[in-house]
Structures are given as C-alpha cells and as structure tokens.
Structure 1
C-alpha cells in the first residue's frame, strides 16, 4: 500500500511538470500608454467649437494599425485623469448618469488592458468613479488607495497580463496628495498611503505570488525631480525608480510633462521612466524584446522607448463613426443657451489686476454663499467669453474645474495673511517702473509664466491695495469692507472659496493664513453638493442677462509702475493687440 502511494505521487509530479508550459524563447511586446487625457475622447474641441488633432480617435487608429501588423504583442494602458476636463465626460459624470459612462464605452472599445486611477478621477465623487469602475472591462488600479474598514485596496492593486506565456505585472499607484485638494466626502471610506511605502509592499507581493517576467509601474504621479526627498511627495516616480528594485519601466503622469529617462535601481539595473504629457498629445511607447535564458531561467530584456506625437497621426474614421451619436448628444447639450453677456470678458486682464472675468465669479460666489468676502483665481491663462448669447460650452471657459463651493470662517487677520501669500508668487517686488511685475521667463519658444496663475487669488468684499514696492508680509493694506463698514482684523467673516483652496490647495490657508489641516475642517460652514460650474450655470440662467462690471475694489501700487509693467508684459505673454 505504501509503495502504491509513492508510485502515484511520482506519477502526479511527472504529470505536473509535463503540463508546465515551456517559456517562449523570444517575445516582442509593444507597451503603449496614455495619461492625463482629461476627456480628449473625440477629435473636436466642444468648448471652442473647432476640430483638434489630438484625441483618443488618433490614438486608437495608431494602436489598431499596430495590432493588425501582428509583429508584437500589444499592451494598451491608461495612467489616469480621464474623467475630468471636457464637456464629453462632464455630461456623463453629472447630466446623463443612467447609462454607461462615455469613458467606459470608449476605453472598452479601444481594448485597454489596464488603467490607473488619477486624482481628477476621484474628483467627480463616489457615485461617478464607483460606477465607472464597474463598467470598465479592464482593471482600474490604485494599490495605495486603501479602504478604511479592512485595510485592503479600494481599487484593484495590480493585474497580470499574459502574452505567449510571459507574465507582465502592472502595479497602479496614484498621488497621495488628494486630501490636500478634495473634501473628504469625495474620497470617504479610504485613505492614501505614501507611494514609496506602497510600492515596496506590493512589489514584494507581486514577486512572491506571481513570479512576473516583466513589471510595469503605472503611476499617476509626476517624475518628481524636485520633490524626491519629501516624506510623502506628490510626485514620486523617480524616487521609486531609484529606491525600489523590481520595476522594468514606470509610466508616470499627473504633471503634464513629456519625458523619456533612464534611472538605476538599487540592483544597478536600468529602469525606464516615460511620461506622455496630457490631452492625448503623445503615446508613450516601449518596444520590449524578451529573450529566454534557459540557464538563468529568466528573460533577458531589451527596451527601446519613444513618445509618439499624436498630432502626426490620422484619426480613426471607424472610431469617429461609432461614437458620433454620443458626440452629437453632447454637442447639442453644450450648444444650449443659458443667458446673455452684455460685454466681452477675458482672463488676460486677470493676470495683472482686478478684472470683470474674476469679478463675475466673485459676485456669484458671494451671492451663493451669502459671504462677506470671496476668494478666487483665474483658472485659465487665456480664455475669452464674447458678448452676446452665452452657451453651456462657455461655462467651461469661465470655470475649468469641478470644484465645490465652500463657505468658511476666517478672521480679518487670516484674510490679510492669505492675500499676502497669494501675491507673493504673483507679483515680484519692484524697485522702479522698469522692473518686472510678473514672474516671466522668455526663450526661443516664447514667454511664459513661471508661477501658477490658478493660485493668483484675489478678494472681493474688501477694498485693499497691493504695494509691490514692499516685501512679502507688508504689501496688503485693507482699508475697509466694500460695503463701507470697518474692516476688523479680529472679527470673523464668512468667506466663499472653492474646495481646492478650502482643503489647503496652494497652501494659502496653511502656509499663508497659518491654519492646520484640522483647523481647515473646523472652519468649514457649508459646502455645495454639486460642482461650482453647475451653480454658475443656474445663477446665470436665473439672471438671464448679465452686465459684467469691474468694481476695482483692489489695485496695485505704485500705479505708474504697475501700468508700465503691465503694458510691457502683456505684450510679452499675449502679443500686441
């Protein structure tokens, strides 16, 4: 009996080994990825009503052609931030929610193998991203988005893609900075682990459990050249490439840069880092040769990388025809009239001082929040809304992001300190009318701002001056409330601002006003349930005709210095009128 047992055991082992597939000697992979598409699904700009040369229609044409060549095994990946940034996705997010989301329709049609969740994919809220996660026919990854209830990932942490017997592991991570930008109810039930910590944990699990032949880090996080030494950096892709062995390539994003670089991991192995910018401008492409080494029992890898310029590609007519009915539905939506503007407004003026564009948003925010003071910044560098009929599409120029409207309690001193911080990176200190005002750099490609204009917060509800001849901390002088009442540094005021700023985005409330993260939460009086653009639309619909005036409640002094600098620098940034 005992001999029979050993006989059957021997037979079982022999059968098991005989069933184990032999490794394919040579495999050619082509790994292609998009990142930060921000709703560029169709080759048409619905906001500005014109055709575009970069969208997933062009990407699909290229991918389809590569698949048809059958020269390589194709893997198509997306690196997050697809659910925000365009009327096409906004419509599915908030207007037509009873059918399958347009992103699920498009990406399933294109045959994506995996994707990673981006911070702007979290922004529309649970009802949107939970639904989309179910509708995708591929795994949506985020290993470091951890469920509070059981400590397990809220989304799938990684996936295994098998090509001719080779196992390709894809680990998804996203920037952990979401709590700095978004209110907790949007990401309730989860928290975000530091990327380095999560990558260490999951690469070990993947290696021990899956024994992969090739490992891809699909990270919705920027390269992070300047932030790598922070404790929990927003952009940590280079940090992981250098500090953690096991990755063959890392696809990064979030920072909207184009990059192809190589780094060395702790085992002295080369790691590819590639970033395809944003809005489907590039496809990240890695051509990988896997050659089986029978002696070492592993694949030797050769990787060649490039960024494919999407503007050079033709759109897929098959794709366009397939999604034309969906597109036509959204086109009709954005063409709907919501009101009338008596005058034209532009964000160009908002770079240099008080402007009708900003005052419109300020007055709407103060009205909706019943606030004493309002803060807002220009969210576009060069947007214009013409006088005449205002359509839904124009609201995407007026307000680019799906922020909520917050109402918070701030003291007069905190308001003053907030403004000091805002103007610190907005206007330089000047010593004469010939000195620069804005932080501008000029190269052979033209002139651009070096600081982030979406952090140029101005205030409404108070009258004040910004003295650019003085250093940070001593520039702001608040003379009174715009109502004529006395402004009191010790009094608490109701302040309207967007949720990005209210959660500490830009550091105006934290580093500027000196509030802790806990204090930000305690100061919150109210939050809208829908995004601010929705309420702007309803406000304008109610008004019908909007006569936009700039009330000049703040100005930059010395005025002659400011005027001279504005004339010079407006021409640098925008050209002569």
Structure 2
C-alpha cells in the first residue's frame, strides 16, 4: 500500500481525523471536610458513657467508599477544633504525652491530606499543638497565625495539590479573636492577623507564583462578620465575597450546618459550606473540570452535607486504635470521690443551682477570692448521686480554662452582672411573658437566644435580679455573703475562668467597662493547669460532696417569676 492509499484509509476510518481533532475531557475531584470534631474520634461518649452518633470511625467508612470511586482524586481536609472536647483528647494532650498523639495517629491512618488550626486547638497550649502538628503526616495550615519575632506565618499559609494536571491551592486561616478568649501563655510569641487582610495578600501571592486552577479556602471561622473587640471573629463569608478567586470556602467554628452559594464582588459564584461539629456530618464538594487541548474551559462546583451517623464504623480503624480506646476508658473510670445528691445545669437558668454553686464554692476555696463568677458551660449536664468518676469532671467543667483571680470594683461587678442577666433574661412586661430570652424556634443555641456559657451568676454577694427592668437597672447588690455592706467604689477580688478574664463574652469589657488592654493588669493570680484539674484535686481532697444551692441571689418579682420559670423549663427540657 502506497502513502496515498494509507492516508485515504486513515481518513476513512477517522483515525487521522481523531488525532487532529480537539478533545474535551472531564475531571472529577472530591473535596471532603471535617470540622469541629471536638474529640469525637470513637463512636463512644467517654463523658456520658453512651454511644456517639458521629465519629472519625464513621467518617473513615465514608471516605473509604469515596476513594473506591474516585481514587487519589479525593482530598480529605480537617478544619480545626479537633484537640478538645472528649476525654480521649484530654488524655493524649496532657496525661500520655510520650505516645504519638492519638489524633495525629488517626488522621494519618485515614490519610488526611491537609489540616487547619482552630481556636480550641490553640487552647491546648504550645506544647500540645506543636507536638500534634509535628506528628501529622500532612501540612497543618495557619496563614494568619503570625510569629511576633519575624512577622512570618507560624505554620504553612497554603498548600498546592495536583491531580490529573489540575492545580488546587488551599489557603488556611483561623478566627483572629484568640487573644479575646485565651491566655497569652497559650499563644506566646504569636499574633493573629485579620482574615480579610491576610487573605488578600496571600491570594495575590498564590495567583502570581502558583497559578492554580482551583482556589479553596479552609477557614476556621463562621460566615457572619460579627465584631468582637474590634476584631471580626467570623469573616469567612466576607473573605469569599470581597476577595475574588475562591471557588469554595470550607468553614467551621460556629457549629452550624451551612451549604450555599454566594456571588463575590467580581460576579463569580462561590460555594460556602460548613459541616457543623462532632463528626456527624461531612462537607462533600464535587469539582467537575472540563479541559480541552490542555486548557480548562469550564468548572462546576457542587456541595452537599453528608450525614455519616447511620454509617457503620470502619472495623479496621476500630481495631487499630483499640489500645487508645482502652487507655481512655481506664482514665475516665477512675473514682475520685462521691456526691450525696444529683445535680444538673437545668436548674441554673432559673435561679441558684447546686451544680453552678458547687463550682462557685470550689473556685472560692481554691483562690480565696471575695467573689466568684461562673456560668453553665453545658446546656444540660448532670452528675448523678453516688460515686464521682473522672468522666464526671468533664460534665462539671467542659473546657480547659485556667482559673484567675482579678481585681474589680463594686461598680464593675454590677456592670458585669447587668450585661450577663440582660443576655440571659427577658424583660418581662406581664406574668405571662417568658422569664428567659428565647428564640421562637430552635436555632443557634437551641431555644436560647444567647449561649449559656455567658450566663454568669455570682457567689460571695447577696443580690436580686429584677426581670421587669432594663439592662443597667436589673441588679441590686445588698452585701457580701458575710453581711458586710457592698460598696460600689471598693475593689474586690473575683475568681473567674481565663476565657472570661481575657475578655470572652464581652462581660468584662462591654459589661464592666474595662478596656481590653487593661484586663491583664487586673489579674493577680492564675493557675498553671486547667481549672478541671484543680476541681478534681479539690474533690479528691474533700472526698464527699454535699452540694446545695447557696441561695445568694434570686429573681424578682417572685409572683411573676415562678409560673414563667415553670413554663420556660418545659420549653427547654421537655
């Protein structure tokens, strides 16, 4: 066959035409995100001693199925707040510090591709999160966590992945409000840059140097740009809207499920997605990229929230980490004392509570302060009559806060309480009104309009709360608990947790009116370890607890409060 004949044959079969024709290929990439896992590694609640709906063990099952379908085109990401919440995290943060951190071992086992820092990860302190990040076999990001000595990022700001020739840039950031909540010792040598300022600079750098095809934000912050001490705490949506280039922004921090598309300032669509918390839901994003002649001609981004609570656990995961499970079970099963009656935070919303007043009393005993401030950190926690185990300490005190003693004037104490009860209680106009400040439906903090961890009461003083009055006129303080007259101009020592003492919840800044920069000067004492440790130590020392309400404050008018409290209790707990 001559050349002419061969050429004609190829043209007839289409082989030559196919070789010269332009072809379009579609590439599918899966982006999966967990966020705010809060120690839910196993499908077991080591605090309540009952099964958990979510867990990394169930997430592992979902991820395995995705990898069977999409292979290496699955990118698995975690968005922070994974080192706090369940006793297993606490155990490997502070008790067994010689082993590889169980969280790093699990994420490595599941082949996570990238991580990001959360505020509760920072709360564990340098020794913990530095050790954990170094043991992770993937980069842990933090573009706006800046070293004070060099003004350079403390952690990698971004990372580039390449899948089938598609370049994917992931930029990681954290809410910059850390100094408003955590003692400086937890983040010594660091400062936290505004998210939008940071993102604008790094997006430009990424574009110029990396030329990505897809830009992903992995931001430990919620969508709304609420202002906290002149810092925008939740700026994820603002970044996505105001800085062109992002295809998808993964969020966390606020524990709210979200999946929606917005339009940025350039008119392009950006997907915002948040899987909420406790490894019950996974953010599942599908990227479909069409490429022609080596050039991307179209992209589509679709997201959904995948519920994993009905999935079986990954048996290989469970078997691999059985020793860590057993070590944690032994830890939480240790008896540390006993208690003569059942206590619950349910009471704390409606008046003096044995549960909260036990913490007040322990804080006063530990510090020797004149007063104590404390709030119900858990909405519905209970410690039952009988033996107290280590697991109960995580019910009694949810977070790894330190304990401070601070100097406050009587007037500042009153302002603090005025704001607290304004967040907590409705201004009643009639006996038929709600006592509590409620939403019409479950949203955010359930039926509560504001988070209960900002509902501080006081011990060490006698006072009333008039729920018919506006903020500024609700609180009447008559005396100290020993009968000494209360003086608005006198300075008192007050026991508070470090979250509150650093300005968390704004009760000291907006309520008491103390400038944020002055708070550190008001601290006269700080524990070295978390408050839970000292509460446990004190209970072991006392042996048997007989908690009861101190009855040092009450709501008025009582004839209005009693029926309103009964009605609101049913709304919250029935």
TM-score (norm 1): 0.93
Native 8 Å contact 1:289 1:301 kept in 2: yes
* Distance in 2 separating the partners of 1:382 and 1:193: 36
Q: What SS does the corresponding residue of 2:447 show, helix, strand or coil?
A: strand
Contact 2:180 2:229 in 1 (8 A): no
Q: 1:444 to 1:438 in 2, by over 3 A?
A: closer
Q: Flag the 1:456–1:544 CA change in 2: closer, same or farther, 3 A.
A: same
Q: CA contact under 8 A between 1:228 and 1:239: conserved in structure 2?
A: no
Is 1:508 aligned to residue 507 of structure 2? yes
Q: Is the CA contact 2:54–2:309 (under 8 Å) kept in the aligned structure 1?
A: yes
Give 1:69 shift: 2.5
The alpha-carbon deviation at position 25 of structure 1 amounts to: 4.2
Matched, 1:144 2:153: no
Q: Distance in 2 between matches of 1:318 and 1:522?
A: 52
CA distance in structure 1 between the aligned counterparts of 2:469 and 2:113, rounded to whole angstroms: 56
Is the 1:54–1:279 Cα contact (8 Å) retained in structure 2? yes
1:125 aligns with 2:115: no
For residue 529 of structure 1, report the CA deviation from its aligned partner. 1.1
- In 2, Cα distance between equivalents of 1:54 and 1:236: 27
Report the counterpart of residue 554 of structure 1 in structure 2.
553
Deviation at 1:265, TM superposition (A): 1.8
SS in 2 for 1:112: coil
Name the counterpart of 2:6. none
Q: Provide the secondary structure at the position in 2 that maps to 1:312.
A: coil
Match of 1:81 in 2: 81
Check if 1:475 corresponds to 2:452.
Answer: no
TM-score relative to the length of structure 2? 0.93
SS of equivalent residue, structure 1 residue 99: coil
For residue 308 of structure 1, the aligned residue among 301, 306, 310 is 306
Matches within 5 A, 1:78-477: 78-224=78-224, 227=226, 232-294=231-293, 297-298=295-296, 300-443=298-441, 448-477=447-476
Mapped contact 1:346–1:357 kept (Cα < 8 A):
yes
Structure-1 separation of matches of 2:226 and 2:418: 25
SS at match of 1:418: helix
| Alpha-carbon separation, structure 2, partners of 1:181 and 1:120 | 10
Shift of 1:303: 1.5
Pairwise CA distance, 1:267? 2.3
CA gap 1:227/1:294 in 2 versus in 1, 3 angstroms? farther
In structure 2, how many angstroms separate the alpha carbons of the residues matched to 1:426 and 1:205? 46
Q: Is the 8 A contact 1:28 1:71 kept in 2?
A: no
Q: Which position in structure 2 is the counterpart of 1:11?
A: none
Q: 1:67 is matched with which residue?
A: 67
Decide whether the 8 Å contact of 1:104 with 1:136 is kept in 2: yes
Shift of 1:53: 2.5
Secondary structure in 2 matching 1:430? coil
Please report how far the alpha carbon of residue 71 of structure 1 lies from its aligned counterpart in structure 2 after TM superposition.
6.1
Contact residue 29 and residue 70 of structure 2 kept, 8 A: no
**Measured at CA, do residues 275 and 385 of structure 1 come closer, stay the same or move farther in structure 2, by a change above 3 Å?**
same
Task: Tell me, in whole angstroms, the C-alpha distance in 2 between the residues paired with 1:405 and 1:447.
Answer: 28
Gap change, CA 1:399 and 1:38, over 3 Å in 2: same
Question: Which segments of 5 or more consecutive residues in structure 1 lack a partner in the other structure?
Answer: 1-22
- How far 1:70 moved relative to its partner? 3.7
Cα distance in 2, alignment partners of residues 519 and 116 from structure 1:
31
Which ranges in structure 2 are unaligned for 5 or more consecutive residues? 1-22
Q: Give the CA RMSD over aligned residues.
A: 1.8
SS state at 1:440 partner: coil
